[in-house]
Amino acid sequence: MSSTDSGIPVEPWYEPPDGPAPALGRPGEPPFTRGPYASMYRGRLWTMRQFAGYGSPEETNERFHFLLERGQTALSVAFDLPTQLGYDSSHDLAGHEVGRVGVAIDTAQDMADLFDGLPLAELSVNFTINATAPIMLAFYLVAAEQRGVDPAGLAGTLQNDILKEFLARKLYVFPPQPSLRLAGDVVEYCARELPRFNPISVTGYHAREAGCDAIQELGLTMAAAIAYAEHFTARGLAFDSFAPRLSFHFSSQLDLFEEVAKVRAARRLWYQIATERFGAASENSGRLRFFSGCSGATLTAQQPLNNVVRSALQCLAAVLGGAQSIHVMGYDEALEIPTEESVQLALRTQQIIAYESGVTRTVDPLAGSYFVESLTDQLQQRASALIEDIDAAGGYVRLLEQGVPQRWIAESAYAAEKAVQSGEKTKVGVNRFVTGDDGPPPQLFTVDETAAARQRARLAARLAARDDAAAKQELSQLREVVAAGGNTMPAFLAAARAGCTVGEITGVLRAEFGEYTEPPPW
């Protein structure tokens, strides 16, 4: 760890003889350009967190065990679309989507089954859930209670970034303002009750995957973080009470040095925003930590094995940028959800970079490169200019409601695709080095068509077994809290304990808040 393969000693970090430049600082020190922690991977490797979920809770539970047995160090739950949109598996609109792109969770009991046999107190779990995030958090906390695990000790991250659903990911349910209220309820509750939990992961990833460039990804993520911080402080939360637990989520695409520079610039920019705009007193409020989801959008359906190499480069960029946790895409993800073989290879990609490449020996190894430092400055400046434009136009939420940043992304995506089509941008195996014979398609994941029916049967059994009057009582309590404007988390927890379903709980919110329809994109 502390010397190269040929025995040359490696220092924890390197800097000019006369000390660090103010724009860089030292690792773990403001403005955190070089990393949020002093020792970084010398102290602790990043968390290897493959995103996983399909079918019913027990099938996903099997995949979780599979990943942990192979050396994964934390979990990340993918939910199916009905769960993300607040429909029960039995709902007409849920149809074929039950258990399709993630696991189907209807009740707190389903959540308990999802984590069956897994050590909740020791595991860090990410939940990729947004519109129904407070409900899934309540289900998880109730599952922990039932297992006798103290919720205060639970570690993990709730994505809970509803603004980027309007921007790019599109799984919104309620209009922006009540959505922000729900996000704030979670943040407030977590600040009080769940000290080890990140209640929100401010995410530029989906905008980038949808087609914007690295500057827009950075600027839009910071604009969203500002909008959340303004909303939470306006409802009376002190900035330092929630900012240290804000987490960030970026993509990591293929332009290696730009991707590294992007996250270095992100740390510096957030420190500046936290201190100058919000007057952070706690150093931790400006210490940006992030998850890298690498990039599915850069993978190709053609010659899919090439994606193994693309994923390795993306993971390397995330590591050189100092990510706290990483998911690597499976090579078959342009075609299907990944097979066991494919996720194992993705995990092995992380492990080979972590344990064989030597890049973890010193912190921020690209610091001081004329090129990388210049790129870092450029990304910060250009993203700052975008933030200023957003401020000048009335703020991020207002622009989102008008569909403006959505159009920026659509335009960038169209331009990028045209560059591939014209050959101006090379995509190996797509517009160059095309053999005409890509070989047989890979063995793809096969969906168990019976999983949805089993999930519906499970839901029916749970509804039959519960105290219906008690469940209805909790739903009407929830309705009152929603109408009165109080924090909804305790009511979600009570409803979860009474066996209420995600569809019932979301139904109450739909009735009170209404549903959002987006403006036409063009």
Partner 1 sequence: MALRDAGAEVVYLGLRQTPAQIVAAARAEDADVIGISVLSGVHLALAREVREAQQAAGVADIPLVVGGTIPPQDAAALAELGVRGVFSVGTPIEEVVRGVLEVGLLARDPLTPGGSR
Q: Least CB distance from residue 1 to partner 1, whole Å?
A: 41
Q: Least CB distance from residue 421 to partner 1, whole Å?
A: 5
Output the DSSP codes for 104-161: ---SHHHHHHHTTTS-TTT-EEEEE--TTHHHHHHHHHHHHHHTT--GGG-EEEE---
472 binds partner 1 (CB under 8 A): no
Q: Which residues ranging from 499 to 518 are in contact with partner 1 (CB under 8 A)?
A: 517-518
Task: For residue 449, count other CB atoms closer than 10 A to its CB.
Answer: 10
> Of 371 and 414, which has the nearer Cβ to partner 1?
414
| Cβ–Cβ under 8 Å, residues 126 and 49 | yes
209 binds partner 1 (CB under 8 A): no
Q: Which residues ranging from 381 to 420 are in contact with partner 1 (CB under 8 A)?
A: 410, 414, 417-418
Q: Which residues ranging from 271 to 300 are in contact with partner 1 (CB under 8 A)?
A: 300
Rg of the Cα trace of the chain?
A: 23
Q: Which residues ranging from 46 to 85 are in contact with partner 1 (CB under 8 A)?
A: 81, 85
> Of 417 and 468, which has the nearer Cβ to partner 1?
417
> Of 28 and 304, which has the nearer Cβ to partner 1?
304
Q: Which residues ranging from 349 to 388 are in contact with partner 1 (CB under 8 A)?
A: none
Site track 167-206 with partner 1 (rule: CB under 8 A), x = hit: ---x------------------------------------
| Cβ–Cβ under 8 Å, residues 451 and 98 | yes
> Of 210 and 225, which has the nearer Cβ to partner 1?
210
> Of 87 and 248, which has the nearer Cβ to partner 1?
87
What does the alpha-carbon distance between residue 112 and residue 499 come to, in Å, rounded to a whole number?
A: 12
What does the alpha-carbon distance between residue 324 and residue 40 come to, in Å, rounded to a whole number?
A: 9
Q: Least CB distance from residue 470 to partner 1, whole Å?
A: 33
329 binds partner 1 (CB under 8 A): no
> Of 101 and 385, which has the nearer Cβ to partner 1?
101
Among 177, 374, 421, 426, which residue sits at the site for partner 1 (rule: CB under 8 A)? 421
101 binds partner 1 (CB under 8 A): yes
Torsion over CA: 217, 220, 226, 227 (sign): negative
471 binds partner 1 (CB under 8 A): no
Q: Which stretch binds partner 1 (CB under 8 A): 94-102, 240-248, 272-280, 360-368?
A: 94-102
Q: How far is CA 227 from the centre of its chain?
A: 18
> Of 355 and 433, which has the nearer Cβ to partner 1?
433
| Cβ–Cβ under 8 Å, residues 130 and 488 | no
Task: For residue 437, count other CB atoms closer than 10 A to its CB.
Answer: 7
Instruction: Using CB atoms within 10 Å of the CB of residue 162, give its burial: 0 to 12 exposed, 13 to 18 middle, 19+ buried.
Output: buried
| Cβ–Cβ under 8 Å, residues 165 and 130 | yes
What does the alpha-carbon distance between residue 86 and residue 76 come to, in Å, rounded to a whole number?
A: 19
Structure tokens at 355: 């344990």
Run of H or E residues at 215? helix 214-234
335 binds partner 1 (CB under 8 A): yes
Q: How wide is the angle at C-alpha 63 spanned by C-alphas 501 and 355, nearest 5°?
A: 130
Q: Least CB distance from residue 454 to partner 1, whole Å?
A: 17
Output the DSSP codes for 242-269: HGGGEEEEE---S-HHHHHHHHHHHHHH
100 binds partner 1 (CB under 8 A): yes
Among 43, 95, 119, 195, which residue sits at the site for partner 1 (rule: CB under 8 A)? 95
Q: Least CB distance from residue 324 to partner 1, whole Å?
A: 28
Q: Least CB distance from residue 279 to partner 1, whole Å?
A: 40
Q: How many residues are there in the chain?
A: 522
Q: Residues binding partner 1: what is the number (CB under 8 A)? A: 30
341 binds partner 1 (CB under 8 A): no
Q: Least CB distance from residue 81 to partner 1, whole Å?
A: 6
Contact set with partner 1 (CB under 8 A)? 81, 85, 93, 95-97, 100-101, 170, 300-302, 334-337, 410, 414, 417-418, 421, 430, 441, 444, 447, 517-518, 520-522
